[in-house]
Amino acid sequence: MNHYLKRMIPSALTMCNLLLGFAAIAMSDLTPFYAMVCIYLAAVFDGIDGLAARAFNAITPFGKQLDSLADMVTFGVAPAVLIYQHLLPPGYSSLIIVAIIPLFAAIRLARFNNDTSQSTSFRGLPTPAAALFLAPLPYIDLEYAFRLYNEPLLIAAVVVVALLMLMPIRMFSFKGLKDTGPNRVFPILLILGSIGLLIPFQWMAMPLIIILYLLLSLLYNVWNTPAHQREQES
C-alpha cells in the first residue's frame, strides 16, 4: 500500500469522528437519540483511528492534533449542547453549567498532547469517556422518565464528570491488553463488565459502564501506586 495512503487512512477515520460530532450537534434539537448514536459511533472511530495509525506506522504530530480537535467538537461541545437543550432550562446559569464540559475537555486534551506519560494510561477521565457518560442522559430521561430535568443530581453529575477530566487520577487504557503482566486484567474486566451491563440495560448501560471504568481505575491506582511513585521520582 502506498505510504501516503497509509498516512491518510487514520486521518480520514478521525475526520469521520469530527463529522459525526457535527451531526450530533446539528440533530441535538430534534431528538437526543440520533445525536447520542452519532457520539457513540464517533467513539468507535476515535478508537480505530489510533489502531490504524499504529498498524500503518503512521503516528504523526498532525494526526495527534487533528484527533484532539475532533475530540473537542464531538466529546466536548456535542454533549454540552445535548445537556443544555434537553435537560436544563434556557438561561445564563444553564449555559455556565454546561460550559465547563467543553472548557475542561479543552484543557484535558491540551494536557494530553503535551504529556508523554500518558502513552499507556491516562491521567484524568478521557474526554470520550466523559461524553459517553453524559450523551445518553437526555435520551434516558426522555425514554425512561428519569426526571433529570434541572435536578441537582444532574448538575452534580455534569460538574463531577467535568472535574474528573482534570483530576490527576491514573486511568487504564485498552493498550493494557498488550501487557503480559497483571495490568492486563483491568481492561478485560471492563470488557466483560460492559457486556454484562449492555445485555439487560441496553442504551442505559453506557453511564454505568463509565462508572465501572472509574471504579476499576481506582483499583488500578491502588495496584500500581508503587510504580507511579517511582515514575514521579524519576
pLDDT in tens, 188-217: 999 999 999 999 998 889 999 999 999 999
pLDDT at residue 2 is higher than 80: no
pLDDT digits (tens, 9 = 90+) for 132-187: 999 999 999 988 888 899 899 999 999 999 999 999 889 998 877 777 677 889 99
Q: How many CB atoms lie within 10 A of CB 198?
A: 15
Q: What are phi and psi of 121, to 5 degrees?
A: -150, 170
The predicted structure's pLDDT at residue 23: 97
pLDDT digits (tens, 9 = 90+) for 99-121: 999 999 999 999 988 877 776 78
Mean pLDDT of the chain: 89
**Cell numbers at 205, concatenated:** 448501560
Calpha distance 47→91 (Å, rounded): 35
Bridge partners of residue 121, in order along the sequence: 172
Could you tell me if 88 and 82 are in contact, meaning their C-beta atoms sit under 8 angstroms apart? no
Mean pLDDT of 64-91: 95
pLDDT bracket for residue 8 (50, 70, 90): confident
Calpha distance 52→13 (Å, rounded): 9
Calpha distance 213→194 (Å, rounded): 9
Mean pLDDT of 215-228: 80
| Record: fold of 3-168 | Four Helix Bundle (Hemerythrin (Met), subunit A) (1.20.120)
pLDDT bracket for residue 7 (50, 70, 90): confident
The predicted structure's pLDDT at residue 1: 58
Q: How many CA atoms lie within 13 A of 26 on its CB side?
A: 7
Counting Cβ atoms within 10 Å, is residue 178 exposed (0-12), middle (13-18) or buried (19+)? exposed
pLDDT bracket for residue 231 (50, 70, 90): very low
Mean pLDDT of 75-93: 95
The predicted structure's pLDDT at residue 230: 46
Annotated domain spans of the chain:
3-168, 173-234
Tell whether pTM > 0.85. Answer: yes
Buried b vs exposed e over 16-37: b needs ≥16 C-beta within 10 Å?
Answer: bbbbbbbbbbebbeeebeebbb
Mean pLDDT of 21-32: 93
Give the total residue count for the chain. Answer: 234
Q: How many CB atoms lie within 10 A of CB 147?
A: 10
Give 163's contacts (C-beta < 8 A, 6+ positions apart).
104
CA quadruple 178, 183, 184, 189: dihedral, nearest 10? -150
Q: How many helices (H) and strands (E) in the chain?
A: 11, 2
Calpha distance 177→174 (Å, rounded): 6
Provide the 8-state DSSP code for 59. Answer: -
Mean pLDDT of 117-136: 90
The predicted structure's pLDDT at residue 53: 84
Percent of the chain with pLDDT over 90: 62
Calpha distance 215→7 (Å, rounded): 36
